[in-house]
Chain A
Amino acid sequence: MHGQVASKVLQLLPTVPLFEQRLLENMGGGAAYENDLNFKATELRLGLPGTGCTNEEQAVSGAKNNKRPLLETREECGSKEKSDPQHDDQETDPAPKARIVGWPPIRSYRKNSLQPKKAEAEAAAGMYVKVSMDGAPYLRKIDLKVYKGYPELLKALENMFKLTIGEYSEREGYKGSEYAPTYEDKDGDWMLVGDVPWDMFLTSCKKLRIMKGSEARGLGCGV
C-alpha cells in the first residue's frame, strides 16, 4: 500500500534523482532503513515538513493548503511581539538565537555552578551541528534540539547570518531568495532543509550548509 502512495507522490514531487532514490529505498525493500528510522518518521505524508503529531503547535493535515500555517508562523515570529494563540507554549520572543561560543561572556565555572544540572543536561542532550554559509569565513555550531521545528530553525539561521531564506515550497524549494538551506544526511547526501519531517531531519542531519545562487536552485527546484 505504501508503495502505491509512494509512486503517486513521486509524480508530484520535483524530480531530484537523489531524493527519489532515497524515497524508494525508504519505501521499497529498504530493510536497513526500517531498523534505523522509526515508521512514523519515514511515513510519507502530504503535509508540510514539521507538521504532524510530533509537532504540538501545528495541526496534522493531509492537505496541501497547509502552506498557510507555515507562512503565518514565520510572519508572527518575525513581528517579535505579542503572544500568538498558536504558539502559547513558545516564548513570546522570536525564535531562539543559536548559541554562540563564549557568549555571553561568563566563565564556565560560574555557569556550571549556578545551573549544574542544567549544564549537564544540556551537554548530554545537545545536538550540535556545524552550519556553514557560502561566502562566509566562519562556521557556526547550533544545537538542533533547541528548535521545535523548521520555522524556528530557519528564523534562527536568518538571524545568525543576516539574510532571508524565503519560504519553502515542496515544488520549488526556497523561492524568493538566493539562499537555500541544505543539510548533509547520514548517507552523505545533500538534501534541502524541509523536505523530510522534522524528527527525521533531527536524526539524520549531520551538518548544515546555506547554499547560494544557482547551486541552491538546482537542488530545490524542479526541472
Chain B
Amino acid sequence: MITNKKPRSSDTDSNYMRDDRTEMSEDDDRSPPSDSIANGSCPTRTCTPGSGSGSGSSSIPEYSAPYPDRVLENVLENVLWFLTSRKDRNAASLVCRSWYRVEAMTRSDLFIGNCYAVSPERATSRFTRVRSVTLKGKPRFADFNLMPPNWGAHFAPWVSATAKAYPWLEKIHLKRMSVTDDDLALLAESFSGFKELVLVCCDGFGTSGLAAVASKCRQLKVLDLIESEVSDDEVDWIMCFPDTETCLESLIFDCVECLVDFDVLERLVVRSPSLKKLRLNRFVSIGQLYRLMVRAPQLTHLGTGSFSPSEDVAQGELELDYVSAFAACKSLVCLSGFREIVPDCLPAIYPVCANLTSLNFSYANISAEQLKPIISNCHKLQTFWVLDSICDEGLQAVATTCKELRELRVFPFDPREDIEGPVSEVGLQAISEGCRKLQSILYFCQRMTNAAVIAMSKNCPDLVIFRLCIMGRQRPDHVTGEPMDEGFGAIVMNCKKLTRLAVSGLLTDTAFAYIGKYGKIVRTLSVAFAGDSDMGLKYVLEGCPRLQKLEIRDSPFGDTALLSGLHHYYNMRFLWMSACRLSHQGCQQIAQALPHLVVEVIKHEDTVHMDDYADTLYMYRSLAGRRHDVPQFVSIL
C-alpha cells in the first residue's frame, strides 16, 4: 500500500513553495537524510530503521511494506529524472519523505541563487548526484561600486565541497562570485570530465587560473568569460589548450583585457571543429578576425573584437574581402564586439544581417546614418543592444524594420547627468509603435515623458522587463513638469506579464502605490532617488506578494517601512537598502523577529560616523546562519 504522508506544512514550507525560482525547498523541520550517499540502489535505504529522516510521526507503514515502496521509488526515480524545472522539483520534494529523497537523488542541476543562503556541506549532502552547479554571489548593486571590495561571495568553499561530493561534475556557472586562481586550479584538478565553465561578472582571478582550466580540462566544451575582471598574469592561456583536436564549442573572452598571441589562437580555432561561439577581445584586429572567420565558417555566434585595423598593418587589412568572409558564415545569427569600430568597415556585415537574431552594438559609437543601412536588413532581429549615439532617429529606424524585436538595450555613450542626451521619449515612443512584441527593455536617457511610457505600456503588452533609467536624478516629465508616477503606473497596470521593473526620474509615493496595487507578479524591483516617505516602501512590501529581489538606494524610507515587510522577507531572496533612513535599531528589530534572516549592515568609509544610521542594509534568508567570512566593515545583527 503506497503510503501518503502529508507534507509537513509550516510557514517556512509554504514560503519557499511560493517562490518560483527558490533554489532549494529546504525547510527546517526536516533534516536531510544523513546516509543518503550516492548509491545505485536507493530503495534499500527506506527500509533501514533510523535512516536519516528526522523526528517523525509514524514511520511504521514505510517499514512494513518494503516491496511496494521499492517499486514506487524506482518508478519515481525514473520519472523524476525528467523533471527539469526547479519549481516542479521543489514542489515534488515536499510531497512526502520518499519523494523528498528521490528528488534529491535525481536532481542534476543545482541552482543556488544566493551562495550564503545555504552552506556547501548541506547542499552537497542533500543532493548527491549533481552534474551542474550554478551559484550567484554579490547583489547587483555591487556592480556599481556600492559594495566595498572583499565583501565576500567566495567560490573557495564551494569548489572544495563539490570537488569532494561530485567528482563527475560537468558544469559550473558563477555570477558575481570572487574566484581565485587557486579555485580554478582545484576545479581543473578535481573534475576529470569537466565540460562547461561560465563566469559572469566575477573577479579575483587571472590568466593563470584560465591556463589551469585550459590545460587540465580535456573535455572542455564551453569557456565563457562574460563581463568579468581578469588580471593579466602574463601567461598565454590560449597556448595551454591541448595540442590535439579540442571539444570546444564556445570560447568567449571579450572581457579579457590581455593580449593574446594571435597565431596560437588561430591554431586553436583550426583544431576546434565543433566551435560555434567565438567572442574575441578588443586586442584582435579586423584583419586577424578575417583569418579566423575563414577558418571557422561554421560559427553561429561571433564577437568581432576591435573591428578596426591594427596599427602596423593597416593598409593590408583594409583590402581583405570581409564581405566574402561574412557571407561564408551562413549560420551566423549573433554578432557582437565592434569594440573600436571603424565605421567604414561596417558594410562588411551586410551578408549576415538578414539572418541575425541578435546584434550587440553597445560598444560601437555609430550614428543614425551609419546604423540605417545595417538595421534596415535585420528583419529577424530579436535582441538588439546599442549606444545612444544612434539618437532617436536611429531608434526610429529600428522600429521601422525590427518587427520581431524582443529585447532592446540602449546604453549611454556619455553617462553623465547634466548633458542634453541624444535619446529621449521620441525614441521610446517610436520603438513602442514599431516593436509590438517587445518583452524586455533597458533604456538610458536624459529626458522622458509620461506619455511615451504610457504609450509603451499599451503598445507592448508582452513586456516582462521594463527598466528605464532617466540619468538626471529626480527629473520630472520634461514636457509637463510632473512626476513620472503616471508613466510607471501605466506600466504595472497594463503590462500583465511584468516581473522586473526599474524606476527612475521624479517619483512620489503615488508611483509606489501603483506598483503595490498592480504589480502582483513583480519579482525584481530597483529603486533609486525616489519616493517621499515610508509609505512608498510600505505600498510595495504590502502589495507585491511575488517580490523576490528589492534593491533601493538613496530614498527616504525608514524603519517603519522596513518593519512593514516582516511578513514577506522569508519569501525574498534579498533586500538591499543603501543611503536610506534606516537606523541600527530598526535593522536589529528585523534580525530579532526573523531568526533565519541574515541581516548585514555594511559600513562605508565615507560615512560620517553617526551611530544611528545604517549605511547599507543587505539582508537575505539563509539556512546557514551568519557567515564565517565576514569582513570588518560588515556587522551581522
Contact = CB atoms under 8 A, between A and B. Distances in A.
A105 B528 contact: yes
Contacts of A103: 144, 417, 471, 473, 528-529
A74 interface: no
B413 A108 contact: no
A101 B579 CA distance: 11
Interface in A129-174: 130, 132, 136-139, 141
Nearest to A113: B363
Nearest to A92: B420
A141 B605 CA distance: 12
B418 A91 contact: yes
B608 A110 contact: no
Given A94-B418, A107-B227, A115-B414, A102 B146 contact: yes
A104 B227 CA distance: 18
A141 B418 CA distance: 17
A177 B256 CA distance: 53
Contacts of A114: 363, 365, 387, 413
A169 B471 CA distance: 35
B606 A130 contact: yes
B144 A105 contact: yes
A96 interface: yes
Given A105-B144, A137-B607, A100 B473 contact: yes
A104 B365 contact: no
A106 interface: yes
Interface string B216-242: 000000000001010000000000000
Contacts of A109: 227, 229, 255
Contacts of B146: 101-102
A104 B418 contact: no
Given A97-B473, A109-B229, A113-B339, A104 B412 contact: yes
B1 interface: no
A128 to B, nearest CB: 11
A138 B608 contact: yes
A105 B507 CA distance: 18
B512 interface: no
Contacts of B529: 103
Contacts of A67: none
A215 interface: no
Interface residues of A, number: 28
B615 A93 contact: no
B520 to A, nearest CB: 26
A22 interface: no
Interface string B608-634: 101011010000000000000000000
B191 interface: no
Contact of A93 (B418, B444, B553): B418
B595 interface: no
Given A103-B144, A137-B607, A141-B606, A97 B417 contact: yes
A97 B471 CA distance: 11
Contacts of A100: 473, 554
The interface residues of chain B, by DSSP majority, are classed as: loop
B481 to A, nearest CB: 12
Given A101-B145, A104-B444, A109-B255, A91 B419 contact: yes
B143 interface: yes
Given A137-B613, A139-B606, A106 B411 contact: yes
Interface majority SS on A: helix, strand, loop or mixed? Answer: loop
B613 A93 contact: no
A111 interface: yes
Contacts of A106: 144, 411-412, 415, 444
Nearest to A133: B608
B460 interface: no
A114 B420 CA distance: 18
Contacts of B201: 107
Given A114-B365, A137-B607, A104 B255 contact: no
A2 to B, nearest CB: 40
B418 A102 contact: no
A106 B608 CA distance: 26
A108 B420 CA distance: 22
Contacts of B144: 101-103, 105-107
A94 B472 CA distance: 12
A108 B362 CA distance: 14
B469 interface: yes
B490 to A, nearest CB: 23
Interface string A85-96: 000000101101
Contacts of A102: 141, 144-146, 553
A104 B415 contact: yes
A105 B615 CA distance: 19
Nearest to B365: A114
A122 to B, nearest CB: 11
Interface in A37-54: none
B143 A132 contact: no
23 contacts: A93-B419, A96-B416, A96-B417, A96-B418, A97-B418, A97-B473, A99-B417, A100-B473, A100-B554, A102-B141, A102-B144, A102-B145, A103-B144, A103-B528, A104-B412, A104-B415, A105-B469, A108-B145, A132-B608, A137-B607, A137-B608, A137-B610, A138-B615
Interface of B: 141, 143-146, 201, 227, 229, 255, 282, 339, 362-363, 365, 387, 411-420, 444, 469, 471-473, 528-529, 553-554, 579, 606-608, 610, 612-613, 615
Q: 5 shortest A-B CB distances, which residue pairs? A: A102-B144, A137-B613, A104-B471, A139-B606, A96-B418
